[in-house]
Chain A
C-alpha cells in the first residue's frame, strides 16, 4: 500500500525525535541531521534500525548514508575535497538528493550537510513507492 509523503515524513519525524532526543519542531524538512539535529555516526545506525522497524523494510546503511564508504577511498578524496570520480560515485549513490550546491565546493566536511530530513523522506518514498 502506497504511503503519502506526509505520512512518511511524520514517521521519520517520530523516529528522529526518539533517536536523537530532539523536539518535533526541530525536525523540519530542511534540518540537517548532523548540523541541526546533532547526530553522530552511531546515531545513523540507530536511525537505520528504527526506520527498518517503523516501515517494515530492509535498509542498507550504505544506500541511505553512502558518504562513509567514499571517504575511505583515496580515488574519491583528494585534499579534503571529493574528486570528479568521487562526485560521480556520490551522484550515483544519492540519486534521491539534489547535489548542485555541494558540487560547486565538494569539501568533505560539508558532506554532513547533505543529510537532511528531506533526503531520508525522499529515499523512503522511492523505496516504498517504486516508479511504475
Chain B
C-alpha cells in the first residue's frame, strides 16, 4: 500500500500545472504531539503533500511510464501555520522537464493566504543512477493514486467518453 497524503485534485493541466487539496484534521494523531495544546501541521508533511501533488503531475506528463522519485528540495519556505480544520490548496507547476528529470515550483495556500513556497526536483530513476536496475513494474504509481484524480477529467478521457 502507498501512503496518500493529499485528498484530491481539483485542477489538472497535463504537463503544466495542477492543484490538489488536503483537509487537515485533529484525527491525525501526530498533531496531538506536534505540539501538545498547539496542534499545527508539520512542515515536513507540507513538503510531502507538495511532493505528491507535483510528483503525480510529473508522472502524468509521461503517462505514468516513468518511476518518479523526489530527488531534491530546491526551496522550502514557510510563512504561516496550518491548523486542524484547515483546507490547504497545493499549486504545482512544471518548470522544466527532460527525459531524466523534472523541476517543479509550488505554492501552498489556505483561504488565499500564502502558507509555503516549495520547489522540487524529481528524478526518473530508470534514466539515472548510472546503470542501477529497478523492478520492471511501476511501484511508484499504483492504482491507489487514481482515486485522487476522480474529479479531474483528462481531455482525451473526455473525448473517449463522448465518443461512446
Interface of A with B (CB < 8 Å)? 19, 41-43, 45-46, 48-49, 52-53, 61, 68, 71-72
Q: How large is the interface on B (under 10, 10 to 19, 20 to 34, 35 or more residues)?
A: 10 to 19
With contact pairs A52-B96, A53-B96, A61-B100 given, residues A45 and B130 touching in the complex (Cβ less than 8 Å): no
B128 is an interface residue with CB less than 8 A from chain A: yes
* B130 near A71: Cβ-Cβ < 8 Å: yes
In the complex, the answer to whether B128 meets A41 with C-beta atoms within 8 Å is: yes
Could you tell me if B121 and A42 are in contact, using CB atoms closer than 8 angstroms?
Answer: yes
In-complex Cβ contact of A68 among B74, B95, B130 (8 A)? B130
Nearest residue in A to B129 (C-beta to C-beta)? A41
The reply to whether B103 and A49 contact each other, CB–CB distance below 8 Å, is: yes
* Cα(A53)–Cα(B129), bound, Å: 24
Q: Is B45 an interface residue (CB 8 A)?
A: no
Q: Can you list, as one digit per residue, whether each of B106-149 has a CB less than 8 Å from chain A (1) or not (0)?
A: 00000000000000010100001111000000000000000000
Residues of B within 8 A of A46 (CB): 72, 74, 103, 121
Q: By the criterion CB–CB under 8 Å, are B131 and A49 in contact? A: no
| CB neighbours of B130 from chain A (8 A) | 41, 68, 71-72
Q: Say yes or no: is B1 at the interface (Cβ < 8 Å to chain A).
A: no
Cα of A41 to Cα of B95 in the assembled complex, Å: 20
Q: Which of A19, A46, A52 has the most CB of B within 10 A?
A: A46
Q: Which residues of B contact A52 (CB under 8 A)?
A: 96
Report yes or no: A71 in contact with B131, Cβ–Cβ below 8 A.
yes
Interface centre among A19, A45, A52 (most CB of B within 10 A): A45
Residues of B contacting A43 in the complex (Cβ-Cβ under 8 angstroms): 72
User: What are 7 A-B pairs at a CB distance below 8 A?
Assistant: A42-B72, A45-B101, A45-B123, A46-B121, A48-B98, A61-B100, A71-B130
Q: How far is the CA of A41 from the CA of B130 in the complex (A)?
A: 10
C-alpha gap A42/B127 in the complex (Å): 12
B71 is an interface residue with CB less than 8 A from chain A: yes
Chain A residues with CB under 8 Å of B100's CB are 45, 61
Residue of A nearest to B101 (CB): A45
Residues of chain A with a CB closer than 8 A to B103's CB: 45-46, 49
Bound CA span A71–B129, Å: 11
Alpha-carbon gap, A52 to B97, bound state (A): 11
Q: Is A45 a contact partner of B129 (Cβ separation < 8 A)?
A: no
**When A and B form their complex, which 7 residue pairs have the shortest distance between CB atoms, in order from nearest?**
A72-B131, A49-B96, A42-B71, A45-B101, A49-B103, A42-B72, A46-B121
